[in-house]
């Protein structure tokens, strides 16, 4: 059985385990309402966000030629979260938009603002890295610095935020699938699909970057233009993911590592398997959150709790 089919079957099984128990309560009308209006949007969000973050992270790691180039570590996610936090607190504290219509307006504004925040943090990282050496390690150090700075700003915003904004800010800091709906998904999912499609088209050319920019130029690949294009697509996918699910830790570091360990380094396969495995992990988190806890546990806690032991296993497997 092909690996992609195994991953697809695993995703279908986890999704079914999440949806099916809601259909056995005995009240048919209530069952279908729960499935279509509550659980299905959460499931679609889990699949979309897991796929987007995992594929974006895999592309970013090739783009920077560094396996630690996770959007969270590099700082792209923190830039998107900062813009979302500024928007929510600014609007809430000044009362520009009434609370009851805040999320209606946020559906259209937050994806754009999160994308801008992701691009802004990326531009700052590039500028700092260029000043200190323009090497791969320079990008990592610059990313850590920018990520720490933006995270500190979000922390200060959280400290001075009005009480009515604290719950929303907690969502942006830790991640959640509970705030999604069909209206936001109808806006975000087509753009995510476009970004994933464009990254998939770039996968064969990205293989040339494994040997460096000069080798890529020799192979007929315009490295700088490709890297810029990939970075914009990564920022788009990360920004959109943050806009509907908040910041999710560790996923982008774990999944591509595991996929490359199991299936090699061909980016066409890495992107496909990373997307499927990322969707499985976030859907599994939704399943655990639904049936193992009485209250909603932030996604970052679940991904870190699941991902850290798996990442250690992958590291030991690589050493052996």
The total of structural domains in the chain comes to: 1
Mean pLDDT of the 239-247 span: 88
Instruction: Please report which confidence band the pLDDT of residue 259 belongs to, taking 50, 70 and 90 as the band edges.
Output: very high
Mean pLDDT of the 253-257 span: 89
Q: Is the pLDDT of residue 164 over 80?
A: no
Q: Which of 166-170, 224-228, 243-247 has the lowest mean pLDDT?
A: 166-170
Q: Which of 2-6, 89-93, 297-301 has the lowest mean pLDDT?
A: 89-93
Share of the chain above pLDDT 90, in %: 27
Mean pLDDT of the 165-169 span: 73
The DSSP line for 207-231 is: HGGGG-HHHHHHTT--HHHHHHHHH
Q: Which of 84-88, 193-197, 311-315 has the lowest mean pLDDT?
A: 311-315
Q: Which of 95-99, 267-271, 278-282, 292-296 has the lowest mean pLDDT?
A: 95-99
DSSP structural state of residue 21: G
Name 84's Cβ contacts closer than 8 Å, sequence gap at least 6. Answer: 110, 113, 114, 117, 172, 242, 243, 246
Encoding tokens for residue 119?
């691009």
Query: What pLDDT was estimated at residue 40?
Result: 92
Between 161 and 257, name the one with better pLDDT.
257
Q: Which residue range is the domain that position 27 belongs to? A: 3-319
Give the model confidence (pLDDT) of 47-83 as tens digits: 999 999 999 999 999 988 877 778 877 788 888 888 8
The DSSP line for 141-210 is: HHHHHHHHHHHHHHHHHHHHS-HHHHHHHHHHHH--STT--HHHHHHHHHHHHHHHHHHHHHHHHHHGGG
> Model-level pTM?
0.88
Query: What pLDDT was estimated at residue 172?
Result: 67
CATH number at residue 150: 1.10.3470.10
Q: Could you write out the three-class secondary structure of 256-306?
A: HHHHHHHHCCCHHHHHHHHHHHHHHHHHHHHHHHHHCCCCCCCHHHHHHHH
Question: Cα–Cα distance between 304 and 62 in angstroms, integer?
Answer: 23
Q: Is the pLDDT of residue 25 over 70?
A: no
Answer whether 107's CB lies under 8 Å from 180's CB. no
């Amino acid at each position: 059985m092909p690996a992609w089919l195994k991953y697809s079957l695993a995703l279908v099984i986890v999704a079914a385990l999440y949806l099916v128990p809601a259909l056995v309560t005995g009240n048919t009308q209530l069952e279908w309402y729960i499935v279509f209006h509550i659980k299905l949007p959460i499931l679609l969000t889990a699949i979309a966000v897991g796929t987007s973050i995992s594929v974006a992270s895999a592309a970013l790691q090739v783009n920077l030629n560094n396996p630690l180039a996770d959007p969270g570590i590099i700082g792209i996610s923190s830039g998107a979260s900062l813009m979302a936090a500024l928007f929510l607190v600014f609007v809430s504290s000044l009362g520009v938009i009434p609370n009851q219509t805040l999320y209606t307006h946020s559906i259209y504004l937050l994806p754009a603002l999160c994308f801008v925040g992701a691009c802004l943090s990326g531009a700052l990282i590039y500028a700092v890295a260029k000043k200190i050496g323009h090497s791969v390690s320079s990008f990592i150090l610059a990313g850590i610095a920018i990520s720490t700075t933006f995270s500190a700003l979000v922390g200060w915003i959280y400290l001075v935020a009005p009480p009515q904004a604290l719950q929303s800010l907690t969502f942006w800091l830790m991640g959640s699938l509970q705030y999604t709906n069909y209206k936001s998904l109808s806006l975000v999912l087509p753009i995510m699909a476009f970004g994933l499609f464009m990254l998939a088209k770039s996968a064969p050319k990205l293989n040339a970057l494994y040997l460096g920019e000069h080798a890529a130029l020799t192979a007929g690949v315009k490295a700088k233009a490709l890297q810029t294009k990939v970075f914009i697509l990564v920022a788009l996918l990360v920004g959109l993911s943050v806009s509907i699910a908040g910041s999710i830790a560790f996923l982008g570091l774990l999944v591509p590592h595991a996929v490359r360990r199991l299936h090699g380094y061909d980016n066409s396969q890495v992107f496909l398997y990373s997307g499927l495995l990322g969707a499985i992990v976030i859907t599994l988190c939704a399943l655990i959150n639904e049936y193992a806890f009485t209250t909603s546990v932030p996604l970052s806690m679940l991904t870190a709790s699941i991902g850290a032991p798996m990442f250690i296993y992958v590291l030991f497997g690589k050493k052996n």
